[in-house]
Amino acid sequence: MTDDQISELLFVREEPVWGDLAMVFGAANELDLIRRTRQGVRLYQQGYVPRLLVTGGGTLALVRPDALRMVDLARQLGVPESDLLAELCSTNTFANAYASLELLRGRGLLDDLKTILLVSSEWHMRRVLLTVQKTFPQGLRFVCCPTLEGCTRETWAAVKECRAEVLQEWELVVAFREAGLL
């Protein structure tokens, strides 16, 4: 598999559109978590979405769940608490999707959703997209609006740490597809 093929298959970036909410995925890396949260807040502040759903108990949950750290940052950046939803239990992308679906269903919000903007790191977007497409009801539109900082389509192959992270992601996606999970 060439670098260009990996880029084409993993990295998904679309122009934002008006949506019903942005679903912002947590991250094991604190810098990625901050970047993702800031991207979700940008979408909110630019009027693309009326609310954010931050998701993740995370691998640092012993310190504080990802979603709570994301809520704190979003509030510091000007998002009112009334426009924030937080899913605190999940520890991976699959669980993010399932727990977020249940949160939305439990709050009576699921039936009114038409378009969800997905926010994560660009190298993570294919797995995010495939996971929510498999988890959420058919008929919803998902738009991938990744952060354009860190490991991006343009930079990953040339930066040692990014290359390792992207190749690990590629292996995960392949393994999950082979197992029928995606």
Question: What pLDDT shows up at residue 24?
Answer: 97
- Concatenate the DSSP letters of all residues of 69-134 into one string: HHHHHHHHTT--GGGEEEE-S--SHHHHHHHHHHHHHHTT-GGG--EEEEESBGGGHHHHHHHHHH
Give Dmax over CA atoms of the chain in angstroms: 46
Q: Would you kindly state where each structural domain of the chain is located, as residue ranges?
A: 12-149
To the nearest whole number, what is the mean pLDDT of the chain? Answer: 93
Per-residue pLDDT reduced to its tens digit, 104-144: 999 999 999 999 999 999 999 999 999 999 999 999 999 99
Q: Which fold has domain 12-149?
A: Rossmann fold (3.40.50)
Whether pLDDT at 175 is above 50:
yes
**Which of the four pLDDT bands, split at 50, 70 and 90, describes residue 22?**
very high
**Predicted confidence (pLDDT) at residue 155 exceeds the cutoff of 50:** yes
Q: pTM of the predicted model, to two decimals? A: 0.94
